[in-house]
A = this chain, B = another copy of it.
Amino acid sequence: MPLHIALVHFPTVNKAGDAVCTSVTNLDMHDLSRAATTYGVEGIWIVHPYEPQQRFLARVLRHWRDGWGAAYNPTRKEALARLEQVASLDDVVSRMSADSQARPLLVGTSARPAPNRISYGDLRHRLESNPDEPVLLVFGTGWGLHPDLLVDLDIMLDPIKGPGDWNHLSVRAAVGIILDRLRGSDRG
């Protein structure tokens, strides 16, 4: 079941809608990897074009994969084993396409409704009925994915909804909730 997730730091938007590049966040690596491992996600891609930020990420990864952290907390080592860092979303698509001989379906996420949408039930059904189709869920940091990137995506997942209209979730919670809706067991 080749389901992957990407966390995009550029191009994203800030509060004013300007294109920005956000900083990597240590807890995102852990939380996304742990949720991904819980829900059988094969790859976690951290997308950041800026080399010093990539070096920071690599240093944190070394601690948990090979350094003191690997012996102290083997479950974190296991979760982070499937995390990769790349410079752009195009790089993720190239790597996934080379691995599976097919371009992945690019599914965007947003707290705002988009025109070209798929429901959780429909995507869950598609994942279950096409277990060999590579699918990439794309998450934005900051105030969300930039329109220049959105046009490259195939479809958008419905926004997450609670009982009301307020839905300003952290990306760490949103990734967990979305994976649970697509892959969770005993949810009832």
On A, residues with C-beta under 8 Å from B are 15, 27, 30-31, 34-35, 37-40, 72-73, 75-76, 78-79, 119-121, 158, 160-164, 166-170, 172-177, 179-181, 183-188
Contacts and interface: CB of A to CB of B under 8 A. Distances in A.
B169 A176 contact: yes
A3 B184 CA distance: 23
A73 B40 CA distance: 35
How many chain copies? 2
Contact of A161 (B120, B161, B167, B184): B184
B120 A187 contact: yes
18 contacts: A15-B72, A27-B27, A31-B170, A31-B172, A34-B170, A34-B173, A38-B164, A38-B166, A39-B163, A40-B162, A119-B186, A120-B186, A120-B188, A161-B186, A162-B180, A170-B176, A173-B177, A176-B176
A35 B186 contact: no
Given A78-B166, A180-B177, A188-B119, A38 B172 contact: no
A78 B188 CA distance: 30
A98 B163 CA distance: 26
A79 B168 contact: yes
B27 A168 contact: no
Point out which of A31, A73, A172, A184 has the most chain B C-beta atoms below 10 A from its C-beta: A172
A163 B120 CA distance: 17
Given A31-B173, A177-B180, A180-B181, A162 B38 contact: yes
